[in-house]
Amino acid sequence: MQLQVDTHFVGYDTRMNQLLEWAPLIVFFVGFKLLGIYWATAALMITCLLQLVVHRLRSGEFKTMHIITTAVVLVLGSATLLLHDRRFIQWKPTVLLALAAAAFFGSMFIGKQPLARRMLEAVFKETLNIAARTWLLINCLWVGWLALLAAANIYVARNFDESIWVNFKVFGITVAMLIFMVPQVLWLSGKTKAAQSGQV
């Protein structure tokens, strides 16, 4: 009985975490469809602040990514609303993606392991038997992919209709990241199985 209750709450907690992470994107998209880009921007700013506070109350600490995202959204969102210029908020994905690319790149020279290794190894309970040089290659792929998406966001924002950009921001970038990540996780999963077979 205790196990069932614990499992229920773990599942609930996971769903709440997912909802919390996706809330700004969902609110921005719905806000844009109902009220337009400027109301959506204001709603995004409020949601990011709430996300920061809620995560702090639930976990007892701030999440670094939430702090960075909120700071970028508040700066660019304020400029968008004060100057009534949507181009500022359209830079938000590019700024965040570029910062992420810089973080992955910097981790190749600062710290014990590249960021891609730290992030992907956390997905698996087992130790992955992969050469350090391979991890560096994977990390370089992350740098390139994030930089490409950062550039693609600005290209779409400048050359296509506002609604197309919003769809690209909400769906295009998300799908692109999944397409990029899933093959890596599957490949790493295969490496885990191979390592287990070798131990047997």
| Most distant CA pair in the chain, distance | 65
pLDDT-based confidence at 188, cuts 50/70/90?
confident
pLDDT in tens, 38-57: 999 999 999 999 999 988 88
Q: What percentage of the chain exceeds 70 in pLDDT?
A: 86
pLDDT in tens, 71-103: 999 999 999 999 999 999 999 999 999 999 999
- pTM, full prediction: 0.82
pLDDT-based confidence at 2, cuts 50/70/90?
very low
- Say if residue 52 is exposed, middle or buried (CB neighbours under 10 Å; 0-12, 13-18, 19+): middle
Q: How far apart are CA 119 and CA 185, in angstroms?
A: 11
Q: How many helices (H) and strands (E) does the chain have?
A: 9, 0
pLDDT in tens, 138-160: 999 999 999 999 999 999 999 99
Q: How far, in whole angstroms, is CA 161 from its chain's centroid?
A: 24
- Say if residue 127 is exposed, middle or buried (CB neighbours under 10 Å; 0-12, 13-18, 19+): exposed
